[in-house]
């Protein structure tokens, strides 16, 4: 792990979401992360719900971290949400309440552009929902490409979870994903191959319950719902996909990566939203494209959950 004196400046862009909330808690509770803001997008639930869930999370932990609401739908296609995974609220299982905090009076894209342009190029973005906000910000102000230290994306993989070919976040706005994957921004991709290793097993849940704090009870409530949904799909608990991105910024030893070429399919009848990962450097008689993404591979399960549980405990 890098020196604890060096804090990683980070903006979290996502669609909270059970696993988004776990990612936000990990970022807010770890001393290695300086969480500058949370920008929300429609995805797991409509924008009103994802923003509310982010604000509820801030109320739960008593954090004065700005929350900026962003895009209410994809760049091109209609919005499609996931109540079958996250419930109608996007955070079913938790004891939800009307948050005291309010979103700032600035659109997420404006917050991203303003914060990045005023920076020294030392801010990482974790993009753990549909990529609409970040892609639109880049289109509006191309200069932010040189201001983003790295873009850590939860999305993609060699298989899908919304179609046989596509992962939900990429599929939700493949046009936005293509804009970012074809950009020169340094990128890390936490796809399903990696994130499905970050499962909240019964043993992990027992460790969370043992903390006996308001935050751990909040986590236990919503993760119990999320785990039950995942068990119906044959898993030994729910994968907290989005938190893998934050864990990487805390300690790169949390998973291995491979530098590969990844392209986004936007036209296929059966493959829309697919991340086409060139694992074997296939030429097919055409010019070989250079690697453009560090693709997450093998997770250090123990390190990941130690970081996650430590953050939950620190937040009280």
- Contacts of residue 250, defined as CB under 8 A and 6 or more positions apart, other chains included, come to 1, 8, 26, 30, 32, 33, 307
- Which residues carry out catalysis? 15
Rounded to the nearest 10°, the torsion over CA 158, 15, 89, 76 is -80
Tokens of 210: 């043992």
Q: Does residue 104 sit in helix, strand or coil?
A: coil
Report how far apart, in Å, the C-alpha atoms of 310 and of each of 53, 56, 215 are: 22, 21, 12
- Contacts of residue 154, defined as CB under 8 A and 6 or more positions apart, other chains included, come to 14, 126, 127, 128, 129, 169, 190, 195, 241, 242, 244, 245
Rounded to the nearest 10°, the torsion over CA 108, 114, 117, 123 is -50
Nearest to 22 by CA among 212, 173, 221: 221
Contact predicate 244/299, CB 8 Å: yes
- Contacts of residue 281, defined as CB under 8 A and 6 or more positions apart, other chains included, come to 261, 288
Contact predicate 101/57, CB 8 Å: no
Q: Which residues of 185-205 are buried (b: 16+ CB within 10 A; e: fewer)?
A: bebbbbbbbbbbbbbbeeebb
- Contacts of residue 301, defined as CB under 8 A and 6 or more positions apart, other chains included, come to 197, 198
């Amino acid at each position: 792990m890098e020196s604890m004196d060096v804090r990683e400046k980070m903006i979290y862009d996502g669609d909270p979401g059970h696993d988004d909330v776990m990612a936000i808690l990990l970022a807010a509770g770890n001393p290695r992360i300086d969480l500058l803001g949370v920008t929300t997008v429609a995805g797991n639930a409509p924008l009103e719900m994802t923003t509310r869930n982010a604000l509820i999370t801030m109320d739960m932990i008593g954090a004065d971290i700005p929350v900026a609401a962003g895009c209410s739908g994809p760049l091109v296609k209609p919005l499609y949400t996931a109540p079958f995974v996250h419930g109608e609220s996007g955070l079913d299982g938790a004891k939800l309440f009307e948050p005291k905090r309010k979103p700032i009076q600035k659109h997420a894209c404006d917050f991203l552009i303003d914060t990045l342009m005023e920076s020294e190029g030392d801010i990482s973005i974790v993009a753990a929902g549909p990529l609409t906000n970040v892609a639109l910000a880049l289109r509006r102000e191309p200069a932010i490409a040189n201001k983003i230290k790295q873009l850590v994306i939860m999305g993609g993989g060699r298989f899908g979870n919304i179609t046989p070919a596509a992962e939900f976040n990429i599929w939700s706005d493949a046009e936005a994903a293509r804009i970012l994957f074809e950009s020169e921004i340094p990128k890390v991709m936490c796809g399903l191959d990696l994130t499905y290793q970050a499962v909240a097993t019964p043993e992990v849940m027992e460790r969370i319950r043992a903390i006996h704090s308001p935050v751990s009870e909040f986590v236990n409530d919503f993760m119990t719902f999320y785990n039950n949904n995942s068990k119906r799909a044959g898993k030994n608990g729910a994968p907290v996909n989005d938190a893998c991105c934050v864990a990487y910024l805390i300690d790169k030893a949390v998973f291995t990566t491979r530098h590969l070429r990844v392209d986004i399919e936007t036209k296929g009848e059966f493959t829309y939203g697919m991340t086409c990962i060139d694992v074997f450097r296939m030429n097919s008689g055409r010019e070989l494209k250079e690697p453009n993404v560090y693709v997450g591979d093998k997770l250090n399960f123990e390190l990941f959950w130690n970081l996650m549980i430590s953050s939950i405990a620190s937040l009280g």
